[in-house]
Amino acid sequence: MIHDASTLGTPLELRADLCVVGSGPGGATVAMLAAEAGMRVVLLEAGELVTPASMDQREDTMFPRLFWESGGRTTADRAIRVHQGRGVGGSALHNLNLCKRAAPEVLAQWRQAGVDLDWNTLYAEAEALIGVVDVPESMLNRHNLLFREGARRLGWANGRLRHNREGCVGSGFCEIGCAFDAKNNALKVCIPRAVRAGTSVLARCQAVRVLHDDRVIHGVEGVAIHPLSRQALGEIRVLAPRVCVSASATGTPALLRRSGVPGRPVGDSLRMHPAVVVAGDFDEPVHAWRGVPQGWECTEHLRFDESVSRTWLVPAFAHPVGTATLVPGLGDEHAALMARYAHLGAVTAMVHDSTRGRVRPRGDLGLSIHYQPDEADRAALQDGLVHAARLLFAAGARRVLVPSPRLVTLDDPRAVDSLRDVTSPDLSAVHPMASVPLGEAVDQDGAHRVLRGLWVADASLFPTSTGGPPQLTTYALGLHVGRALIQKGVGG
């Protein structure tokens, strides 16, 4: 059953064999496997149940429902927008369905750090679970075709991406949920299996602390969340000898720190794939918001060492409100740029980062993210601006635009190197990860090294950033941790 915790009488105490915190790809997969193995599972989710039937494809209503802080979450210094999802299904509700295995170079680095899993098998199983296939040629919109043409004209390494869609109609509204239920995500695939096996899902229930005595886990203390004010209502306590925290790479370390979990500190190694965006203004309409948002990639400048060239290039676009917030300026200047909306295309340059950020709890329900790109990552971001602009010009853009406090406009493709001098480009991040790395506070199976019965299963576990979309690796780790939890039992 899926319950709305805000409608339940509180205080409330439940008992289970396993309490899972967070219903994204990691947590939902663990809950599914544990329930099907016969465990009594309670799954807590801070967000609400948002079904495809209630997804109205409006930014003003869907962003508050699908994103933390209505899509306004930032780093503590407000320098980087951090888009993180919530709701039953987690960030899989709003993500763009990209499914890519971590590069062999990344997995080799992880093996050197002591994390040696059977990745080929885990990836194959995860791909089968959520139905991963190549984005077909027929679903490449003009935006993606222009991106591909630009990469090919430059002779840059490029290729087709894979996704987990079925029955996609190409509406282009993936970022604010799929009203057509075409995403083979945690909500559609894992949660129903978990519920059929007896899992109780409590939506609008945010975990506040894990309960323990410094040696053994006893459960989770949470609160029901008011649907409008999002303030805490009454207490909900789940008593369980096993707890799996899957609250995201920001929520998980914040919860563990707030709970005073013993052992090695967590939350000091956050990676986020910081990214810059460059827009191209084309003579003919692009209509970039239509169809599958991302079907092609350029890996020419993606390295997995400490070189400056560590950027992954993909098409990127926003719906009107999102675009309007990115475009600087006021009045007529802003209106003139928005009048070109149908003619705009965009490329994001995402950095395989080396910066180690920090996550800390803020009160009982909040958290703060401290992340300032180090010198190497700042150089890589500047490098990414140049590469993105060069690709857009090669694709036929008549000018490129770089969002920053002052809009930077460039009309001459020969001058793209000048973009290295843009000191404050707008930065965003959509892939928080690596804040509770495997092999440190938790072992290779995601079991806490000190607190018996405590597990972690989300993108927190990555030893480093991946240089690409983390969704598939998170499902794979959910399978791995879920099976280890079942096999090892309470002992961890």
Give the model's pLDDT for residue 492.
Answer: 46
Which has the closest alpha carbon to 133: 94, 190, 182?
182
Give the model's pLDDT for residue 231.
Answer: 87
Which has the closest alpha carbon to 474: 438, 439, 429, 440?
438
User: For 80-134, how does the pLDDT look when each residue is reduced to its tens digit (9 = 90+)?
Assistant: 999 999 999 999 999 999 999 999 999 999 999 999 999 999 999 999 999 999 9
The three-class DSSP label of residue 87 is coil
150 pLDDT tier (thresholds 50, 70, 90): very high
Under a CB-based contact definition with an 8 Å cutoff, are residues 371 and 358 in contact?
yes
Residue type, 205: C
Compute the distance between CA of residue 99 and CA of residue 296 in angstroms, rounded to an integer: 12
Compute the distance between CA of residue 62 and CA of residue 109 in angstroms, rounded to an integer: 38
* 342-379: b (≥16 Cβ within 10 Å) or e: ebbbbbbbbbbbbbebbbbbeeebebebebebeebbbb
pTM for the structure as a whole: 0.96
- The single residue listed with the structure tokens 């190197």 is 417
Which has the closest alpha carbon to 280: 333, 340, 325, 321?
340
What are the helix and strand counts (H, E) for the chain?
Answer: 11, 23
Those residues whose C-beta lies under 8 Å from the C-beta of residue 101, and which sit 6 or more positions away, are 119, 123, 472, 473
Phi and psi at residue 401, in whole multiples of 5°? -130, 130
User: For 384-394, what is the mean pLDDT?
Assistant: 97
491 pLDDT tier (thresholds 50, 70, 90): very low
Compute the distance between CA of residue 424 and CA of residue 406 in angstroms, rounded to an integer: 9
- CB atoms inside a 10 Å sphere around CB 38: 11
Compute the distance between CA of residue 127 and CA of residue 418 in angstroms, rounded to an integer: 42
Compute the distance between CA of residue 229 and CA of residue 25 in angstroms, rounded to an integer: 27
% of the chain exceeding 70 in pLDDT: 99
Those residues whose C-beta lies under 8 Å from the C-beta of residue 440, and which sit 6 or more positions away, are 264, 266, 269
Compute the distance between CA of residue 263 and CA of residue 317 in angstroms, rounded to an integer: 43
Give the model's pLDDT for residue 323.
Answer: 84
User: For 3-61, how does the pLDDT look when each residue is reduced to its tens digit (9 = 90+)?
Assistant: 999 999 899 999 999 999 999 999 999 999 999 999 999 999 999 999 999 999 999 99
- The single residue listed with the structure tokens 């000898």 is 241
User: For 455-475, what is the mean pLDDT?
Assistant: 97
Compute the distance between CA of residue 383 and CA of residue 365 in angstroms, rounded to an integer: 38
Under a CB-based contact definition with an 8 Å cutoff, are residues 380 and 310 in contact?
yes
Mean model confidence pLDDT for the chain: 95
Which has the closest alpha carbon to 98: 179, 151, 174, 150?
174
- DSSP-assigned letter for residue 464: S
Q: Please say if the pLDDT value at position 163 is more than 90.
A: yes
Q: Please say if the pLDDT value at position 255 is more than 50.
A: yes
- CB atoms inside a 10 Å sphere around CB 444: 15
CATH class of 2-68+83-133+175-269+433-491: alpha beta
Inter-CA distances, 302 with 101, 125, 305, 309, Å: 15, 27, 9, 6
Q: Which of 320-334, 407-421, 469-483 has the lowest mean pLDDT?
A: 320-334
Q: Please say if the pLDDT value at position 451 is more than 60.
A: yes
- At the topology level, CATH places domain 134-172+270-429 in Cholesterol Oxidase; domain 2 (3.30.410)
Which has the closest alpha carbon to 110: 303, 304, 348?
304
User: For 423-441, how does the pLDDT look when each residue is reduced to its tens digit (9 = 90+)?
Assistant: 889 999 999 999 999 999 9
Compute the distance between CA of residue 182 and CA of residue 174 in angstroms, rounded to an integer: 9
Q: Please say if the pLDDT value at position 407 is more than 90.
A: no
Phi and psi at residue 279, in whole multiples of 5°? -100, 145
- CB atoms inside a 10 Å sphere around CB 167: 10
Under a CB-based contact definition with an 8 Å cutoff, are residues 342 and 320 in contact?
no
Per-domain boundaries in the chain: 2-68+83-133+175-269+433-491, 134-172+270-429
Give the model's pLDDT for residue 490.
Answer: 56
489 pLDDT tier (thresholds 50, 70, 90): low
Compute the distance between CA of residue 108 and CA of residue 298 in angstroms, rounded to an integer: 22
* Residue 13: Cβ-neighbour burial (10 angstroms; 0-12, 13-18, 19+): exposed
For the record, the structure tokens of 54 come out as 């209630």
Compute the distance between CA of residue 445 and CA of residue 109 in angstroms, rounded to an integer: 17
Which has the closest alpha carbon to 130: 220, 69, 88, 191?
191
The three-class DSSP label of residue 61 is helix
% of the chain exceeding 90 in pLDDT: 89
User: For 169-204, how does the pLDDT look when each residue is reduced to its tens digit (9 = 90+)?
Assistant: 999 999 999 999 999 999 999 999 999 999 999 999
Give the model's pLDDT for residue 326.
Answer: 75
For the record, the structure tokens of 200 come out as 């109780």
